[in-house]
């Protein structure tokens, strides 16, 4: 049986590198994206050239109806889901807590937390041995911001990732006896274009002197940890977190 992975927010950065790595390891890939259709289609073509099946599905994973459609399309075009990578997330411009609007807080929580709950629900319904599934793996992409709190910059983003950590641990224990493992990676300062969304494209270079390894990380390094957690190489690991932060 083919291994099948859904990667949310897969058109760029960590999501795109994760999709590539899974494809190189023989997984059929469902790429989810929100707005970047051109990038997603280019990645789909690249992955198909590797020799595996790949589809790209536009869906807002913060919407229950669209999440249901995403998973249904994966069912119909690829088959039974094996792995879910909850990667989709947003970041807003750096601000102190007192400068953050109610609308921004709710937007961050909807895209970064609600999305993980909705996608995990769909995945568990398919994977759980309790409902006739054969098991599977969920990997959530959290952040070291969940531990640091990101003061003066992204307290709302950090809080959303703290919620992802709690979801990871709670769901892992809930479905551990149903053939499903749930784990998370916590990237630190990684070279992705998400920092531009926060208003500082060069943030990693500004802060890299604080990192014991004296450099920022690469999306491909995060992808390797995601693949390990998703695969049978980590078959006795659940409810765990892999920090990718160069020693921070």
Question: Would you list the domain boundaries of the chain?
Answer: 4-244
Q: Return the pLDDT at 190.
A: 85
Distance CA 224, CA 57 (A): 24
Catalytic residue numbers read 157
Q: Is 3.20.20.70 the CATH classification of the domain at 4-244?
A: no
Q: Return the pLDDT at 52.
A: 97
Q: Return the pLDDT at 209.
A: 80
Q: Return the pLDDT at 197.
A: 59
Q: Return the pLDDT at 127.
A: 98
The answer to whether the beta carbons of residues 40 and 242 sit under 8 Å apart is no
Conformational region of residue 143, where left means phi above 0, alpha means psi within -120 to 50, and beta covers everything else: beta
- Averaged pLDDT in 10-residue chunks for the chain of 248 residues: 93 96 98 95 97 98 98 97 97 95 97 98 98 97 95 95 98 98 94 64 76 86 98 98 92
Q: Return the pLDDT at 18.
A: 98
Q: Return the pLDDT at 1.
A: 67
Helix spans in the chain (H)? 13-24, 37-50, 64-77, 102-109, 115-127, 145-148, 155-175, 194-197, 203-207, 219-230
Distance CA 242, CA 184 (A): 6
Distance CA 92, CA 43 (A): 25
């Amino acid at each position: 049986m083919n291994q099948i992975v859904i990667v949310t927010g897969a058109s760029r950065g960590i999501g795109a590198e994760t999709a590539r790595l899974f494809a190189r390891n023989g997984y059929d890939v469902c790429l989810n994206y929100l707005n970047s259709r051109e990038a997603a289609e280019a990645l789909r073509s690249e992955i198909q050239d590797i020799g595996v099946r790949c589809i790209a599905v536009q869906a807002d994973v913060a919407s229950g109806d669209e999440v249901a459609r995403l998973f249904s399309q994966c069912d119909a075009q690829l088959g039974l889901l094996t792995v879910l990578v909850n990667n989709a997330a947003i970041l807003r411009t750096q601000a102190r807590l007192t400068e953050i609007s109610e609308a921004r807080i709710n937007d961050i929580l909807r895209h970064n937390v609600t999305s993980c709950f909705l996608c995990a629900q769909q995945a568990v319904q398919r994977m759980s041995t309790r409902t006739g599934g054969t098991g599977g793996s969920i990997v959530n992409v959290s952040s070291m911001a969940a531990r640091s709190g990101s003061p003066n910059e992204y307290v709302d983003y950090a809080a959303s990732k703290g919620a992802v950590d709690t979801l990871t641990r709670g769901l892992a224990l809930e479905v551990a006896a149903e053939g499903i493992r749930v784990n998370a990676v916590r990237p630190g300062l990684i070279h992705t274009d998400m920092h531009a969304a926060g208003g500082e494209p060069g943030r990693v270079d500004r802060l890299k002197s604080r990192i014991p390894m004296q450099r920022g990380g690469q999306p491909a390094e995060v992808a390797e940890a995601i693949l390990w957690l998703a695969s049978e190489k980590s078959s006795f690991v659940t409810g765990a977190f892999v920090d990718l932060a160069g020693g921070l």
